[in-house]
Each structure stands twice: as structure tokens, then as C-alpha cells.
Chains A and B, each alone.
Chain A
Amino acid sequence: KAGVTQTPRYLIKTRGQQVTLSCSPISGHRSVSWYQQTPGQGLQFLFEYFSETQRNKGNFPGRFSGRQFSNSRSEMNVSTLELGDSALYLCASSLSGESNQPQHFGDGTRLSIL
């Protein structure tokens, strides 16, 4: 059974640009969550999608957005990139997002802003 796949693994952008990251969940998983991980803040929740609907959102500016497709694949978009957006972006999937279900993480996309 394939795990969670995130593409691309590495990305370099400059300030002001926008970026789109992709996440393919484990087959059968309908909940996809996105996290930002930095050395100073640890893992921080961005948003969670279930059945193509954003169900929960963390405390991030509107420059961060996402969507989920009918096959449960998800994308997140960051517009007007800032230096502070440099981070590891992790995607995690679970069956339905219930708190008692384990989340399976991808290996992330390392985003560097120059």
C-alpha cells in the first residue's frame, strides 16, 4: 500500500512569487491535513480537508490556501511568498480525520525562499 506522496520534495522560490504543493493521500483516506514545520515553531497546523471541503483552518494568513479534489488529492498554495515562509510543509492523511485515527505523514516539501 503506497504511503502519502508529496511533490515536489524541494523547491526554491523568490519573494513575491507563488507556489503550489501537491499531496496524494493513502488510498481510501479522505482527510488530508497540511502542516508547516520550522525549527523555531515546530509543527503548526495549516488546514484540513475532507470530501473536498475545508473543515478546519489554523492561524495562518489568507496567503495560504488549499483545495481537495474528488480523488482526495490535495494542493496547497502560498501567494506573495515571504522569507518567513521557508519551511518544511508536511501533508498527513487519515481515513476520516477523527482524533482517534492515526495520521500518516508524507516526507514533505522543503520550500526555500530567497
Chain B
Amino acid sequence: KNQVEQSPQSLIILEGKNCTLQCNYTVSPFSNLRWYKQDTGRGPVSLTIMTFSENTKSNGRYTATLDADTKQSSLHITASQLSDSASYICVVSARGSYIPTFGRGTSLIVHP
């Protein structure tokens, strides 16, 4: 069964600090992995997308890594800002499937 697990479930950090969110998956055959940011009351917005051959992808202060061998991904946020407070969702797609598998997300709160 395809599954995506994210940790931690929630995280509180101070503004300016760095943090790393984790995503483990069992989706097979692997096609791609995406990280989304979802602000409260809004739809998810794509941050990064990585395929099997990519192990790092950056989008501003967001850097995602992928280890396809261990089936793990991480999202690193550098110099956090108050606007980073949101839910971060890891989504993994299988090759040939139109239905992605979603993690339950990590809720990040950045305090001033």
C-alpha cells in the first residue's frame, strides 16, 4: 500500500532560525515527490518537485532533498520568517498513476 509519512506533526520555531521537515514514503514505482505549502484557509501551493534522478531542489529559502534509495525526503527552511507559518505537505506520485499519495503534513509555527 502506498503511504507517505511526515514528521514532526507540528513544529514551533523562532523567527530567523532554520528547520528541517521529514517525509518517508513507500510509493512504488516512484515517479516524483513534491512539497506543498498550505496557508490557513488557502489551497496548497507547490514549492518543489523532484524526480528520481534529482537529489536537491531549491526555491528561495526552501531546499528539498531526496534519497530515492532510502525513500526519504526533507524540506529545509533557512532563516525562517513569520510568513513561513503554514502546513507543509509531502506528496508522492507513482509512475503511470494519476492519483498522488499525500502525507498528513507538518504544521509549522514561526514565533517573533
Contact = CB atoms under 8 A, between A and B. Distances in A.
A43 interface: yes
Contacts, number: 57
A105 B97 CA distance: 19
A70 interface: no
Nearest to A48: B98
Interface in B13-72: 31-32, 34, 36, 41-46, 49, 51
Contacts of B89: 42-43
Contacts of A107: 41-43
B32 A100 contact: yes
B20 to A, nearest CB: 20
Interface residues of A, number: 26
A99 B93 contact: yes
Interface size class of B (residues with CB under 8 A): 20 to 34
A42 to B, nearest CB: 4
A103 interface: yes
B99 A106 contact: no
Interface in A33-67: 33, 41-45, 48, 55-56, 58
B66 to A, nearest CB: 14
B100 A45 contact: yes
B112 interface: no
A97 B43 contact: no
Contacts of B97: 99
Given A43-B89, A105-B45, A48 B31 contact: no
Given A43-B89, A102-B46, A106-B43, A58 B99 contact: yes
Contacts of A33: 98
Interface of A: 4, 31, 33, 41-45, 48, 55-56, 58, 90, 92, 97-100, 102-108, 110
